[in-house]
Structure 1
């Protein structure tokens, strides 16, 4: 179980890899099944917590006294820290070993979840959610990293990446379902406390199967880079959410958004000069890398916001209880699994552009369909159809986009590649949720001022958010169609 990466025979280098970088030999043997189980369980824990609190938000708000705008920080505290530190998490896996880093991330996640379940006020809950985000940033990139160095490139890796992406795609929907059941049966605190037994299950599997492989040489961490990118995203989200009380053109809003831009520019400047940058900017010379990350950014914005507003719509407009709202997402779970499974089977037979564009257009259509729901809508007539269309499309596009963004990556940059993909989705989700929350509040106020009922105002606000979320997915489809050349099916493998 020791560090054996340095003794692997070279099998060539990936495009864009540093000179002399050789691809590590995958680890064969009967434990590959346990390895896949460990990384998928870890990924499930991470993605569940992106959405598991959504159905519980109304009860959390009543119990702890959140404001309507402040409530989104229960989600954003997790996704902002998660997205901002994912790249650092990827480097931790590369530099300090996969097994020990995964174990540390699991323990931290369990502790933060326990503290969140015991929170007595909004500040304590937001702090605990930020702690979960930090643990998630350590865990999430390890999964893809371990897959890339365990499974040989080809059918075995395709299947492993497909299973991992299926968990990533369907886990968010499953989180909404689990959140509804836990909130209704045990109370909202269990949407956080449930992670404790999940960590207890995953930790021994990881310790028994994952090799403590290191691929990054001497440990050098770009902590300033991680702090800068996290601060930039937090400032952007804070500035956008602040428009609930301050106009877009106010000095406060413009100052906070300008700070976010400055911090982002300083981050790029620092990365160009740092001897061991958290992001080797040259990796974006690869068309598939930058395209998969931009697509992930837009998909994350549409998907996270979609789950958030769908949960609120079911409870605040249609009057569903937590368990009913969670159960309403069961078709979405099934659709996401079906789309991901279809993507796994087709990625080696159909060119990637067709799969990604087709999936994104389906997802965008489903989100736009959601925007037509009204207070008089029923589950069968208003929620079921868009759930199935959106979920199949998102599952199909995410599997293919994940495979595109990680194929051909050198093993010493496996953590970077997987961290970038995860960070793109989470950053998109954080900023997208902040923007769409303000749009929803604005549209809701306009409807109320025009004489609409409280439920009509909420439906108008949520509908605006769904419409923009659908537009983001369609924009990602158009970008992919223009930027990615058509390829022969064999090239997709």
Structure 2
């Protein structure tokens, strides 16, 4: 974690020294995992040349990670509730360290892909476990909202920072250092975490719903694979829509299983709560819209305006500053209004920042509006993300926080996996003699999705009594 992203916890009330260290440990782990989503985006051609990857197979370096990170997150979120959040967190961090070391020393494609699967599984373990440790450590109110704001800021900043850091490491040192950094972080976290983390376990120990876990994991893997393939081959390819259809069928089967087992993986009563369903819907679209902007903006900055990789990376670092500020501002908005209002403000301002970018041209003076838009959009996006996190965890019992945060993590990761392929497909479909028309259309659709999300959340999201009570507690 850089000095910029180091969380300032001095304004957080009622935290002991041990709690402050625990928060830093948990946020550091989540930030590192967020970086892993994008850190290899610039390095892929170099990895392919060094290890002998065929060009058509390079996407599997990213896809193998995304499939496991998104596909297993709901399963491990429930495992955290049943068998211990701290235990799962430490196991995941250890797996992250081992798999990152294997990736860093890999000399052939097979070993690198196996290591990326390990990193994806580690992400699916650590992210919901860390988030549920945060939500069970702090009761609903000012402290939790501030911590969740920092968490959301670092998650989104990690994604944009990863693109910049990956380009810097690849150009200055070597792409292998993108993995070795994880090893160092894992060692530090494993040295400190056992002494500062506490886990509030439920006395009840229901059995794990194995049929439900298997079905929903397959459904999520199929969904992410289909979406990713669509970005590579187009939505008309059977390898794109086939897995998506299979995923819908598996989700239907999962619902049928959950309605009949004694201890369901996902309580259907939980999924009937509008704060959970529409909160996660908002989160999925918040991550899908803004993280996917990295792709068309990268093409615009490099292919249209002619900037190099380092300059482009610095622009995305500027976006990262905006996300950190958004994470700090969001709890104040929630305290004065509600999580729903924060989501609505976030989406509206994000749309307002995105719309002008749909009219970019080849003129170099556009760099000034781009810088302003990515900063404002970053702030707004994090306000929406923190709002969704608070809405989707408020009023949830402690013994279901792992499940609730697993749903949040799933929304984040499916959103990240969904956005870029859609942007890529739009750019391909509308590109003429240059990329510019496709970039304009893709950004315009992105802004339209933000506006549509605003209307849907305004109509359908409802906050429960507990969430309203927490809002009152947040008021200064």
Classify the TM-score, shorter chain. Answer: 0.7 to 0.9
1:32 aligns with 2:19: yes
Aligned match for 1:425, one of 412, 422, 437: 412
Match of 1:441 in 2: 428
Find the aligned partners of 2:343 and 2:473 in 1 and give their Cα distance.
12
Change (3 A) 1:147 1:319: same
Q: Deviations over 1:229-260 (max 9, x none)?
A: 33323333444554578775566655443322
Give SS of 2:385's match: helix
Q: Deviations over 1:13-50 (max 9, x none)?
A: xxxxxxxxxxxxxx985411111112111111121112
Find the aligned partners of 2:349 and 2:57 in 1 and give their Cα distance.
32
Change (3 A) 1:216 1:460: farther
**What TM-score, normalized by structure 1, do the two folds share?**
0.83
Q: Aligned-pair distance for 1:289? A: 1.1
Find the aligned partners of 1:376 and 1:255 in 2 and give their Cα distance.
42
1:416 aligns with 2:403: yes
1:399 aligns with 2:376: no
Matches within 5 A, 1:364-375: 364-375=351-362
Matches within 5 A, 1:95-244: 95-120=82-107, 124-215=111-202, 217-218=204-205, 220-242=207-229
Match of 1:305 in 2: 292
Q: Aligned-pair distance for 1:269? A: 1.9
Q: Aligned-pair distance for 1:209? A: 0.4
Which ranges of structure 1 fall in alignment gaps of 5 or more residues?
1-26
Q: How many residues align?
A: 457
Bigger mean CA offset, 411-420 vs 157-166: 157-166
Bigger mean CA offset, 386-395 vs 159-168: 159-168
Aligned match for 2:281, one of 260, 274, 294: 294
Change (3 A) 1:168 1:284: same
Find the aligned partners of 2:237 and 2:194 in 1 and give their Cα distance.
53
**What TM-score, normalized by structure 2, do the two folds share?**
0.86
Find the aligned partners of 2:202 and 2:364 in 1 and give their Cα distance.
54
1:275 aligns with 2:262: yes
Find the aligned partners of 2:52 and 2:429 in 1 and give their Cα distance.
22
Q: Aligned-pair distance for 1:385? A: 2.1
Q: Aligned-pair distance for 1:68? A: 7.3
RMSD (CA atoms): 3.0
Q: Deviations over 1:338-364 (max 9, x none)?
A: 111111222111233332111112223
Find the aligned partners of 1:216 and 1:468 in 2 and give their Cα distance.
49
Aligned match for 2:459, one of 468, 476, 482: 482
Which ranges of structure 2 fall in alignment gaps of 5 or more residues?
1-13
1:355 aligns with 2:348: no
Q: Contact 1:301–1:428 (CA<8 Å) still a contact in 2?
A: yes
Find the aligned partners of 1:275 and 1:38 in 2 and give their Cα distance.
36
Q: Aligned-pair distance for 1:424? A: 0.9
Find the aligned partners of 2:35 and 2:228 in 1 and give their Cα distance.
24
Change (3 A) 1:239 1:321: same
Match of 2:10 in 1: none
Find the aligned partners of 1:379 and 1:100 in 2 and give their Cα distance.
50
Q: Deviations over 1:257-291 (max 9, x none)?
A: 33222222222222222333322121022221111
Q: Contact 1:351–1:492 (CA<8 Å) still a contact in 2?
A: no
Aligned match for 1:335, one of 297, 322, 343: 322
